[in-house]
Structure 1
Amino acid sequence: MPDVIAYGGDWNPEQWPEETWRQDVALMREAGVNRVSVGIFSWSALEPAEGVYEFGWLDRALDLLAAAGIRANLATPTASPPPWFAAAYPEALPVDADGRRLHHGSRQAFCPSSPIYRDRALRIAERVATRYAEHPALALWHVHNEYGCHNARCWCDASAAAFRAWLRLRHGSLDELNDAWGTAFWSQRYGDWEEILPPRATPSFTNPGQQLDFRRFSSDALVELYTAERDLLRSVAPGVPVTTNLMAGAHWDMDCWAFAAELDVVSTDHYLVGARQEPHIDLAFAADYARSLNGGRPWLLMEHSTSAVNWQPRNLAKAPGELRRNSLQHLARGADGIMFFQWRQSRAGAEKWHSAMLPHAGPDTKIFREVTALGAELAGLGEVAGSRVRADVAILLDHASVWAQDHPAQPSAELDPVEEAKRWHAALWRAGVTCDLAHPEGDLSGYRLVLVPMVYLVSDAGAAGLAEFTRRGGVTLVGPYSGIVDEHDRVRLGGYPGAWRDLLGVRVEEFFPLERPIALESGGRGTVWSELAHAAGAEVLDAYATGGPAWTRNEHGAGAAHYLTTRLDDAGLARVLAAVCAEAGVRPAAEAPPGVEVVRRAHPGGRSFLFAVNHTGADAVVTTAGGVRATVAAGDVLILRED
């Protein structure tokens, strides 16, 4: 069977009269759909009362798909427990930090640590698995949906007990926990495990170590729910891959690195945010993150939108051609599947204004014509499937560091580690340089350049890994407020940036957050942040006009480590990134004018594909390293096949 790009969306037949199903499948074939996700929010349809099951409708729906040659990502419906669950087991509903119990009426109304929820979720998952393990439509198990999207943390008594058990395993003893959390401060020392609670609402700042560990525990609880269902599915249907849809790049309550390690294939959802000035750059960040989570292998775009979404203050419709451009941009950055939420636009419910492949107005619409054209185009791009995107640059990103810096008692509320990582990524995007995201403790050996925009927290292993990468000949650029604390959010003493002070040849004695920009000798500007630093072996490449290093370079082994003591403005950041890319021998995928995105996918030792995505309103010329010149029309996407 030739390689294919998976194409389709969520199909929810339970929302519609059965007489519409055949029309759906016929229109799917017309649109080139070969894959749909089924059953995601169907628990109440499959189990309308506890222990009472109705699978006949799903049998008929899957049979229709199989007869049409359309495969299914078959879901376990555990993201939305039905009303009977909340009525029978109110103690399994989530509780917020203020002690309010949240009720049924939306979705994900359950406590992740509830043993009752876990038992009932596994029970319905087993029923689905045993009934459909051999069904010819089955291509992939889709577990749950967007774990933690609305209930990432729960503060109930069951969660408190589970948190204490997790802490015992992590720290071993109360003495170790008290040391890690620094409980000598504010008289917080614990003498009994039962005294420990989740960081519920308090009169002032919560303990930073407690808050960080609770975020870690809450993420682990969601991963554990997934692996329990995954292991059940594997036992019933070995050989069928299992996944769940993450929200990489948009949702930071779960450790996506930990989650991705448990997936057979990384799947993710992405939606444009209309408030962002250049949402297509945000899309590139999310796609690069998804690819990185899958170790560079192709990944599956499980959801994006054909046009407007339903959950933003202003739900902007996509302009003609934008649906195709967004989809092919994901494909360019490593997706082997392009799927939407959803197939048929809902008539009722909270997402009835969320666009779909088949809109309320029916098939005689801009959206459906674009959906059909895209399906035909993807059918001709099967040779791209399985190829990979190679990046010479990595940006370090760690959820634990983001969580630690999220504590409100920080030197400046204007330092946002996620937005800073996206800003550095955007500067590379504008330079035509493709990059990965990497965990600080991951393997960095395949890169030429590693960037550390604002990794506040780093373990000893992560600190040593970056130093070793540089010693072996890599080039490193570390941004301000990085390497400040250890994995428990305890300050590394002796001068900042403690984890990388020797690597960088710089010692910082004090932070100076800025109310207004500060001038540099180069003519550039620092914003938001500055540091009182001293070169301790490093060369000063730029300095504050008032004195003191702003940009330094330190030779370390066969490599070099650069450091910024301020948050440069966009022009200054672009200048520094151009310099370190040149030093590392990093080149763009092709020469292109501003606003034209260039990315290359390649089969090992075989054909490659240069994607040129024109996000501007004017035609543009792209020039490859081999001197091939090609014109990309305004708003168009060009794919050059390279032997």
Structure 2
Amino acid sequence: MSETPTHPSSRTAAPTGWLPGVEAVCYGGDYNPEQWPEDVWKEDVVLMREAGVNLVSVGIFSWARLEPEPGRFDLDWLDRLLDLLHSAGIRVDLGTPTAAPPAWFYAAHPDSRVVTRDGVTLGHGSRGMPSPSSPAYREACARITRALAERFGKHPALALWHVHNEYGAPVSDSYDEHSVRAFRRWLRARYGTLDALNTAWGTAFWGQSYGDWEHIGAPAASASVVNPAQRLDFARFTSDALLECFTAERDILHELAPGIPVTTNFMATSCPSMDLWRWAAEVDLVSNDHYLTAADPRNQVTLALDADLTRSLAGGKPWILMEHSTSGVNWQPRNVAKRRGEMARNALSHMGRGADAILFFQWRASRSGAEKFHSAMLPHAGASSRVFREVTELGATLGGLTEVMGSTVRPDVAILWDWESFWAQDLEWRPSEDVSHRERITAFYDQLWRDKIATDVVHPTADLSGYRLVLAPASYLLTDAAAQNLREYVSAGGTLAVSFFSGVVDEHDAVRPGGFLASLDDVLGVGVDEFLPLREGETVRLSGGALEGVTADVWADDLAVREATVVSTYASGTEGGPAAGQAAVTRNSFGDGAAWYVSTRLTGEGLTAFLDEVYVDAGLSPDRALPSDVETVRRTTPDGTTDYTFVLNHTDEAVTVPLPGVVVPTGAAPTGGEVQDSHVVPAGGSRVIRTVRR
């Protein structure tokens, strides 16, 4: 075991800035120096300084080198690295390497390996953690975390702790015996008695009642569909088991390195196995990884949704973009390279939505291993490459945006987002495989993005009082508390719009007495007598109002209209489909507010027309003066005196933005000066415009 030197702390007072010792926009990425000879490290540091890097994440996959044998640590190389980075003025986000247990761990503890739902035991040689419920794994995590905290907790380069890496990816749930036993303990704590469990799970169906806790297993693959309430609870258990792993490491770091914030990198919209509303309350700072879906021609919209969700998880406070890519990635069917300017637009879209740190995976491209074709800040082509030039340009841009730090986004609209509802909706034997919660949320969000309307993403039980409009595109599961929250929001004057297949079940995936929409039928003024899903490729035509002649697909409801006003109907005859002549879109006055219900899948012009009517109720005005693919998002200083509008031109033509203000001077934009009434943003370019309110 190596000796443990002490590092006198350079922090003689409370940390300034949002990270200890950091008072500028953070810029950098994952740094994996163990892949390179030490003589390369000095070259890396020189190039980092040239690129404007001031924060790097290290040690994330280094467990095998840090602890080559159980209990024997080799930390001297990491000490030399941190000293080198500190001497260059580069701060460190130090990882606990618990996402990559060494080969010796798997050899010593084969019972800790993940078992899939189909009973396959996963081996070593890839990435990803063992069973999160394995006692041996948790003990090993605590040992390496404690060793790192004792050695480096006062190192002057340390700004942040980075626990694990992307919990839940590539695997999350495990059906091994440790997980089965932990699941039973979790169920005892949740339900107390078997009678309560049997009631919650509806085990009278198919004769599934339990008379002994030991008879309950994980919901592994079976002859037919497994009890959906059990599946839902196992998803909740899995999120909690992973969270226990995080908090155990976090508590060690808090104990041994007080004053240094602790985070773990979420994957907000791409890793559905964690209830990040619960996780966000346990991290000191929210951080997130995001990668474009190359096959999506409008992936700038899903990027923005991901960033808005991350800001919402952070409660509107500054957050960290822990990873994104400089160009193509390596795991998608077609790993499309980013065009010139796209990397900067991606980074500034995240920053415009509240990120005060912009980091990549990774600094230097790996020559070997599974990710050797993943882009990097310093690509295989070296410092003379286009990518590195753009990396350096972006560093200069971010270096000029320090004044933006600490400002916030103040949306008027909220979209409901609930992982538990998604887990339930994605189980088997739903009315139509064409119904996707992600598709509906993205469709509604895309329209808001085009209309330049800032949006939060919130849990259904969150405080909604500050929003003019709340959208529920996909709220299949609504608890009683969530339904009451929506009811109170509308009654107090809010505007609510609900899409089909929402409010269907309670927290146990059980249909409420009163029917499919019973949780919201009073506020919406309608009930659903029957679902009428459409055949593949089948469409229906709407009639009346702004939706006259609009075509929809996938779904229709047999609506029972009570107090609501019918805004549009399904057309008569065959064009109207199974609900021909019946209500399709309704509006209901409830208290001082209004609630809308749309019973079919609207897209394109139909969704635009629907939301235009809803906007009127909410007092919102879409901004359609600019091309729809010119993105704008605004941050405002805490005192409300200054706005920073991020304008990102995703088109191939220059646009003139009619906005009074000054372009914030950066390395990639004109020097700021006199206030102008409009600003030209070049094709594929970006600007940040400062406007002082009078």
TM-score (norm 2): 0.91
In 1, the alpha carbon distance for the partners of 2:307 and 2:431 equals 32
In 1, the alpha carbon distance for the partners of 2:660 and 2:644 equals 13
**C-alpha contact 2:289 2:324 (8 A) present in aligned 1:** yes
Q: Which residue of 2 aligns with 1:619?
A: 654
Matches within 5 A, 1:472-487: 472-487=492-507
Tell whether 2:561 aligns with 1:535: yes
The SS at the match of 1:179 is helix
Q: Which residue of 1 aligns with 2:631?
A: 597
Query: Deviations for 1:200-228, whole angstroms, at most 9, x for unmatched residues?
Result: 11010010000000000001101111111
Query: Deviations for 1:18-46, whole angstroms, at most 9, x for unmatched residues?
Result: 00000000100000000000100000010
In 1, the alpha carbon distance for the partners of 2:37 and 2:212 equals 58
Query: Deviations for 1:234-283, whole angstroms, at most 9, x for unmatched residues?
Result: 01111111100000111111111111111111100000011112111110
* 1:399, distance to aligned residue in structure 2 (A): 0.4
In 1, the alpha carbon distance for the partners of 2:47 and 2:191 equals 56
Q: Which residue of 1 aligns with 2:487?
A: 467
**C-alpha contact 2:99 2:128 (8 A) present in aligned 1:** yes
Query: Deviations for 1:141-165, whole angstroms, at most 9, x for unmatched residues?
Result: 0000000102210001110000000
Matches within 5 A, 1:410-489: 410-489=430-509
> Aligned match of 1:633 in 682, 687, 691?
682
The SS at the match of 1:493 is coil
* 1:591, distance to aligned residue in structure 2 (A): 4.2
Query: Deviations for 1:170-207, whole angstroms, at most 9, x for unmatched residues?
Result: 11111111111111111101111011011111010010
State the superposition RMSD in angstroms: 1.3
In 2, the alpha carbon distance for the partners of 1:467 and 1:614 equals 39
In 2, the alpha carbon distance for the partners of 1:444 and 1:109 equals 37
The SS at the match of 2:606 is helix
> Aligned match of 1:496 in 516, 534, 537?
516
In 1, the alpha carbon distance for the partners of 2:412 and 2:598 equals 21
The SS at the match of 2:398 is helix
**C-alpha contact 2:443 2:603 (8 A) present in aligned 1:** no
Q: Report % sequence identity.
A: 53
* 588 and 383 in structure 1: CA distance in 2 versus 1, 3 angstrom threshold: farther
* 1:589, distance to aligned residue in structure 2 (A): 7.0
- Residue 126 of structure 1 aligns to which amino acid in structure 2? R
Q: Which residue of 2 aligns with 1:196?
A: 216
The SS at the match of 1:389 is coil
Structure 2 residue ranges without an equivalent (≥5): 1-15, 18-22, 572-579, 662-675
- Residue 566 of structure 1 aligns to which amino acid in structure 2? T
Matches within 5 A, 1:326-341: 326-341=346-361
- Residue 295 of structure 1 aligns to which amino acid in structure 2? G
**C-alpha contact 1:260 1:266 (8 A) present in aligned 2:** yes
In 2, the alpha carbon distance for the partners of 1:624 and 1:540 equals 40
Q: Which residue of 2 aligns with 1:173?
A: 193
Matches within 5 A, 1:233-382: 233-382=253-402
Q: Which residue of 1 aligns with 2:593?
A: 559
Tell whether 2:212 aligns with 1:212: no
* 1:628, distance to aligned residue in structure 2 (A): 3.5
* 1:620, distance to aligned residue in structure 2 (A): 1.5
Tell whether 2:115 aligns with 1:95: yes
In 1, the alpha carbon distance for the partners of 2:251 and 2:622 equals 42
In 2, the alpha carbon distance for the partners of 1:242 and 1:424 equals 34
**C-alpha contact 1:432 1:591 (8 A) present in aligned 2:** no
**C-alpha contact 1:589 1:624 (8 A) present in aligned 2:** no
Q: Which residue of 1 aligns with 2:11?
A: none
Query: Deviations for 1:504-543, whole angstroms, at most 9, x for unmatched residues?
Result: 0001100000121101001112210000002101001111
Q: Which residue of 1 aligns with 2:644?
A: 609
The SS at the match of 1:149 is coil
Q: Which residue of 2 aligns with 1:117?
A: 137
* 1:444, distance to aligned residue in structure 2 (A): 0.8
* 1:622, distance to aligned residue in structure 2 (A): 2.2
**C-alpha contact 2:660 2:691 (8 A) present in aligned 1:** no
* 1:590, distance to aligned residue in structure 2 (A): 8.3
Q: Which residue of 2 aligns with 1:223?
A: 243
**C-alpha contact 1:434 1:588 (8 A) present in aligned 2:** no
**C-alpha contact 1:591 1:622 (8 A) present in aligned 2:** no
* 571 and 319 in structure 1: CA distance in 2 versus 1, 3 angstrom threshold: same
In 1, the alpha carbon distance for the partners of 2:414 and 2:615 equals 11
> Aligned match of 1:544 in 570, 574, 580?
570
The SS at the match of 2:322 is strand
- Which sits farther off after the overlay, 631-640 or 587-596? 587-596
In 1, the alpha carbon distance for the partners of 2:583 and 2:382 equals 62
In 2, the alpha carbon distance for the partners of 1:509 and 1:553 equals 18
Matches within 5 A, 1:564-583: 564-583=598-617
TM-score (norm 1): 0.98
**C-alpha contact 1:460 1:486 (8 A) present in aligned 2:** yes
**C-alpha contact 2:149 2:257 (8 A) present in aligned 1:** yes
In 2, the alpha carbon distance for the partners of 1:296 and 1:495 equals 37
